[in-house]
Structure 1
Amino acid sequence: MAGYEQYFRELVDGKRENPQDRLLLGCLKFLSLFYSLALRLRAFAYGAGLLRTRRLPRPVISVGNLTVGGTGKTPMVGWLARYLMGKGKRVVVLSRGYGGSAHGEIRMVSDGERILLPPEDAGDEPVLLAKTVPGLAVVIGADRYRAGVYALETLKPDIFILDDGFQHIRLQRDLNVLLVDSRRPFGNGFTLPAGLLREPVAAAGRADIVVATRSKDGVGLVNPVPGKPFLMAAHTLEGMIPLEGGALAPFSRLKGVRIMAFSGIADPGCFFDELERAGVPLVATLAFPDHSVYGDEELAAICKLRDTSQSAILITTGKDAVKLTQFKDRLGPCVVASLQITFADALPLEREIEKLL
């Protein structure tokens, strides 16, 4: 599956130029027109009141993107949760629970004190948020309004964060945060299946504030959604933590050690590149599809490459790690890269948040 994902990305990025690939992309662009039209009609129906929207009696901050794949939504949600909790607010994250067996059901992942569901049921990202932000409550459900009502009754939150909520128009939000990848904000400009866009570019107009992620210094970067408040963010690997848990340690401790990296995220190549830039030389890498479920086949592939590359330590992402603790003995020495989001200037976002408090 990872091979198909890589092929698709290369195809829509224009890196596949033989006649068969060009013909396939042309057909996909034709189909994309119909998909894009359907999305425009859906957005119009909600905007015109033809489709019903619902409002929760607490402020809702939505974090989402226009493209498939990773733009750093989970670190952004974590940052917002910490900021709001630092203001003394009781925060609940509402998530789809994608990738878990309970996907679609309304379930409590964390009540802020205990993690109540494993990633196999809840999905990797909700469990990662609950694990990395102490005191954060997380509820999953396909219908985020009903999930919010459930959270109101059981958790009494002051404010909600809607994870991956840009397309969940049926739930009204008080602050719409749109994340875009600073390298290619809208991919090739086409919606699925000819590009990476979930919606046409015009949908970016629903945003209240735009955050360009993976922007190291912001040189030459312009606001991809003119007229909207805009800020730049970088994702930084700040160190590593043992898979079984423990204190953060610097990557310098890996000097001279043979290291293999693996991950099942939307853009594993970016993770491997960031490790190299952080001073972690890799002797081998292994990519799995996004939201991979780790079973015997995946563990066998990891262990085989670990042995053939003579790697002494494995390194992976936090999103993968929540699904791997049960396999720590089989994996051997394994560490988790700790990812943090930092802003060149967070003031525009803080101003928008303060309006809700």
Structure 2
Amino acid sequence: MADMERYYKELVEGKRKGTADRCLLVLLIGCSYIYALVMRLRAFAYSLGLLPVRRLDKPVIAVGNLVAGGTGKTPTVAWLARRFMAQGKLVAVLSRGYGGNLAGAIHMVSDGQNIHATPEEAGDEPLLLARSIPGLIVIVGADRHRAGLLAQERCNPDVFILDDGFQHMALHRDLNILLMDCERPLANGRTFPAGLMREPPSAMGRADLILLTRCKDNRQVSLPFMTDKPVCRASHELSGYVPLSGGPVVPSSDLSGKRGLAFAGIADPASFFDSLEKSGVHPVATLAFPDHSDYGEDEIAALCRLMTASRSEYLITTEKDAVKLHPHASRLGTVHVAPLELRFSDPGMIDARLDALFRR
């Protein structure tokens, strides 16, 4: 699976130069034009009311992207949830539950008091949010409107956050936040299957706010189809680490001089390893797993072998990976978790749009 994923990414990025590779890419490009047309027609049908758009009684904020993979949706959702909760609001996150085995069924992961699902059932991100933000309501389900109605019936939240919801146009949203990676905002510019874009670039027109993530400096980013859309830049920075069992954040400097193994099963493991280096953590070895790895026997055995071979004193990983490691804690030994902190270049721009939702 990992080899196929690697081959596909190299193919669509033009790194595969063989004759068969080129022929396959031409076929995929032809299919991508059809896919892009279908997505445009779908969005047009929703805009005309030909496809139904349902509503919830409280404000709905959608957080999503155009390019498949890691653009920082989960840290953004977590930041939004904590911000509203600090104001005394009850927050519900509605998620598709990608990677979970509930097969799209509506399920309450957390009612704000107790957690009612495992990572295998709910998926990585919903359980991460439920565990890391006490008091947060998290519900998974393919039908986000029904999921929201369940939240209204049982918890009556003040605001809904639609996780990975930019393409979920069947639910009305009051604020559409589009995340784009500052380094590669449109990847190779092509839609599936010849690229990683879920929709053509024209879909940016639906956004109320564009958030450029993973910004490392002040260089300008050229975005097509932009007119008067407000743009805010943000960076994702590691804020130290916490033990797998939980506890306060410890400065990264405390790991200085210790041998560590970093690993991740996310869309872009290299970005996590780079962030560790910039935060002052210098692992002697790294190991990348496919996105949404389930950390079964093969993955745990690979970690144990590499930890021994590299003479590592500790393991360090992402919050998303950590939610599936608790059953293996005794085998893995010392495991640290590195939480991401979201920092905005213009927090006032975000605050103004969020506060406006409750003045309508």
- Residue 152 of structure 1 corresponds to 152
- Residue 95 of structure 2 corresponds to 95
Q: What residue ranges of structure 2 are gaps of 5+ in the alignment?
A: none
The alpha-carbon deviation at position 226 of structure 1 amounts to: 3.3
Q: Does structure 1 residue 30 correspond to structure 2 residue 30? A: yes
* TM-score (normalised: structure 2): 0.96
Q: Does structure 1 residue 344 correspond to structure 2 residue 356? A: no
Q: Is the 8 A contact 1:177 1:208 kept in 2?
A: yes
- Residue 78 of structure 2 corresponds to 78
Distance across 2 between alignment mates of 1:343 and 1:313:
32
Q: Is the 8 A contact 1:181 1:214 kept in 2?
A: yes
Secondary structure (helix, strand or coil) at the match of 1:47 reads helix
User: Number of paired residues?
Assistant: 357
- Residue 61 of structure 1 corresponds to 61
The alpha-carbon deviation at position 279 of structure 1 amounts to: 1.8
- Residue 126 of structure 1 corresponds to 126
Secondary structure (helix, strand or coil) at the match of 2:316 reads strand
- Residue 213 of structure 2 corresponds to 213
The alpha-carbon deviation at position 223 of structure 1 amounts to: 5.4
Q: Is the 8 A contact 1:2 1:287 kept in 2?
A: no
Q: Deviations over 1:23-80 (max 9, x none)?
A: 3222211111111111111111111111111111111000000010000000000111
Q: CA separation of 1:218/1:226 partners in 2, compared to 1, >3 Å: closer, same or farther?
A: farther
Distance across 1 between alignment mates of 2:150 and 2:220:
45
Secondary structure (helix, strand or coil) at the match of 2:37 reads helix
Alignment map for 1:153-302 (pairs within 5 Å) = 153-222=153-222, 225-302=226-303
- Stretch moving more, 104-113 or 13-22: 13-22
The alpha-carbon deviation at position 13 of structure 1 amounts to: 2.4
Secondary structure (helix, strand or coil) at the match of 1:302 reads helix
Q: Is the 8 A contact 1:210 1:231 kept in 2?
A: yes
Q: Is the 8 A contact 1:223 1:230 kept in 2?
A: no
| Fraction of identical pairs, as percent | 56
Q: Deviations over 1:256-277 (max 9, x none)?
A: 2221111111111111111122
Q: Does structure 1 residue 139 correspond to structure 2 residue 139? A: yes
RMSD over equivalenced CA pairs, Å: 1.3
Q: Deviations over 1:256-303 (max 9, x none)?
A: 222111111111111111112222222221111111111111111111
Q: What residue ranges of structure 1 are gaps of 5+ in the alignment?
A: none
Q: Deviations over 1:75-112 (max 9, x none)?
A: 00011111111222111000011111214111111111
Distance across 2 between alignment mates of 1:6 and 1:277:
26
Alignment map for 1:310-321 (pairs within 5 Å) = 310-321=311-322
* TM-score (normalised: structure 1): 0.97
Instruction: Provide runs of 4+ in structure 1 moved above 2 Å.
Output: 1-24, 216-226
- Stretch moving more, 63-72 or 46-55: 46-55
